Amino acid sequence: MAMKPEDVLRAIAAARGDAICVPTMTTSPAWRTLAPDDLSIGCVGFMGGASSLGLGLALATPTRRVIVFDGDGSLLMQLGSLATIAGAAPRNLTHLLFKNGVYHTSGAQEIPGGLTVDFVTMAKGAGYRKAYAVTELDDFKRRLPSMLTDEGPLLVELHTGLADKTPMTDRSGVPFNQQVDNLRTRLTKAG
C-alpha cells in the first residue's frame, strides 16, 4: 500500500532540524500545517521550479541541508533540472520525489507514463550521487536520518498515495513574495 504523504511529511517535520524545506503542489497544504515556520518556501506560481529553487538555496547556504518535496508531474515540467543539479553537485541537497502518477491538483489526470516513469534511473543517469526508491513508511523512517546527512545531491522516489488536500482545495497560506521575504530575512540574519 502506498505511503500517505501526510505521514511522510510528519516524519520529516520531526527530523529536519534547521533544514530549509521547499514543498510544491500537493505537499504544500499539509506541510504548512505541520511546519508553520519561515524556514520553508513553497514553489507557488511556477510549477516545476521546486528543484531549481532548492538548488539555488543549497548553493547559497552550503552549511545547511535543503530538502525539496517535488512531485512527479512537477519534475517532468523541468526534467532537465536533474542534470543541472547534478552538474552543480550541491552536497547539501536532498530531493524527495512524491510519486503518485497523477496531476492531483488539476483533477488527478495521469502524468505522461503514469507510475512506470522511473525517476531513480533518471537521477542516476543525470549524475546524482545517490538515488533510490522507498515504498514503505517504516523503511522511510528508518532511512530518513541518512537522507538528511548523506552527501547530495540525493534523490529519493517516494511511492505515495494522494494527499488529503491540494492547493486548489486549500488555498490558505502565505503569499509567495511574503515567503521569500521571511526566508531571506531568516537566512541573511543568520549570517
Residues that bind another protein (CB under 8 A): 41, 43-46, 48-50, 52-61, 78, 80-81, 83-84, 87-88, 176-177, 180-181, 183-184, 187-188
User: In angstroms, rounded to a whole number, what is the distance separating the alpha carbons of residues 67 and 57?
Assistant: 10
- At residue 51, φ and ψ (nearest 5 deg) are -65, -40
CA atoms within 13 A on the CB side of 45: 7
> Residue 9 Cβ, how far from another protein at the closest point, in Å?
21
CB-nearer residue toward another protein: 115 or 187:
187
What contacts 94, CB < 8 A, 6 or more positions away?
Answer: 19, 65, 66, 67, 68, 147, 148, 150, 152, 153, 154, 156
Task: Pick between residue 60 and residue 115 the one whose CB is nearest to another protein.
Answer: 60
Nearer to another protein, 9 or 66 (CB): 66
Nearest distance in Å: CB 62, another protein: 9
Cβ nearer to another protein, comparing 107 with 191? 191
